[in-house]
Chains A and B, each alone.
Chain A
Amino acid sequence: MRFAIQVNEGPYQHQASDSAYFFTKTALEKGHEVFRVFFYHDGVNNGSRLTTPPQDDRNIVERWAELGEQHDLDLVVCVAAAQRRGVVDEGEMQRNGKDATNIHPRFRISGLGQLVEAAIQSDRLVVFGD
């Protein structure tokens, strides 16, 4: 089955990102396809490479990035939600006159159309959050 995953909550504050990660990982291991993971609302904070959790805790951002690397996953951060919350890539930095970026290189910033497209192209959209 082909899944689209939507993550609506930030890392650490809420279990949604952890649950989405384990769901995605397990689905891939069972041979399913994950068309895209789309990070929305505070979920965009899952894509900040500056995240530095204590060493004895899981690194949620790196964990997503590693899973993305292993399975060539499309990890997409919503641009409108990212702008509100200061998640920035090179293009957004220049467009909005900012002085830094913080997006993890394994993630990309794109529009809400990517969520809608993922929902159309997948057999199931699974939403994680409140």
Chain B
Amino acid sequence: MSETIKKFLYLNRKAPYGTIYAWESLEVVLIGAAFDQDVSLAFVDDGVYQLIKDQDTKGIGMKNFSPTYTALGDYEVKKVFVEKESLEERGLTLDDLQHLVWEDEDDDWAEKDSIELVSREEMTALMEDAEVVFSF
């Protein structure tokens, strides 16, 4: 769809419910996938809550959109960076998050982990390196 390939970083900073930023950010990621850019997702601050597994929204009457994150691999979104410090500050570990994978066609469609834990310093470098930061 486009000849230019840029490094896109979708920066998710907010909790999944309470405001609509997280959900509408995910909508940009899914639409943006059609543009074949070099896409990374980053989750920092309360944004790490977006990836929590076993979300149940019945009590708040909102749609649980968290299953959509597991479809990201099908949209060729393979790089999901989660900030270690943000998890620790909230008493969370990688085990509290959904298991996100993508299939590697060059490796007999082996499932590979999408989530990579990075330090705050590494996250800074990722932002520095990105050509476009979509901040949500």
Contacts and interface: CB of A to CB of B under 8 A. Distances in A.
Interface stretch (A51-59, A62-70, A91-99, A111-119): A111-119
A40 interface: yes
B96 interface: no
A81 B133 CA distance: 20
Interface string B30-69: 0110110100000000000000000000000000000000
Interface in B86-126: none
A80 interface: yes
Contact of B28 (A84, A112, A120, A130): A112
A12 to B, nearest CB: 18
A76 interface: no
Nearest to A119: B132
Contacts of B135: 127, 129
Contacts of A117: 2, 35
Interface in A39-54: 40-41
A127 B136 CA distance: 9
Report, as a range, how many residues of chain B touch the other chain. Answer: 10 to 19
A113 B132 contact: no
A116 B21 contact: no
A115 B28 contact: yes
A116 B28 contact: yes
Contact of B31 (A113, A127, A130): A113
B21 A113 contact: no
A113 B35 contact: yes
A125 interface: yes
A20 B35 CA distance: 26
Contact of B24 (A81, A111, A113, A120): A81
Contacts of A81: 24
Interface of A: 6, 8, 40-41, 80-81, 84, 111-113, 115-117, 119-121, 125, 127, 129-130
26 contacts: A8-B21, A40-B24, A40-B28, A41-B21, A80-B27, A111-B31, A112-B28, A112-B32, A113-B32, A113-B34, A116-B32, A116-B35, A116-B37, A117-B2, A117-B35, A119-B8, A119-B132, A119-B134, A120-B2, A120-B6, A120-B35, A120-B132, A121-B4, A125-B132, A125-B133, A127-B133
**Complex A-B, nearest 5 residue pairs according to Cβ-Cβ distance, in ascending order:** A112-B31, A116-B32, A119-B132, A127-B135, A116-B35
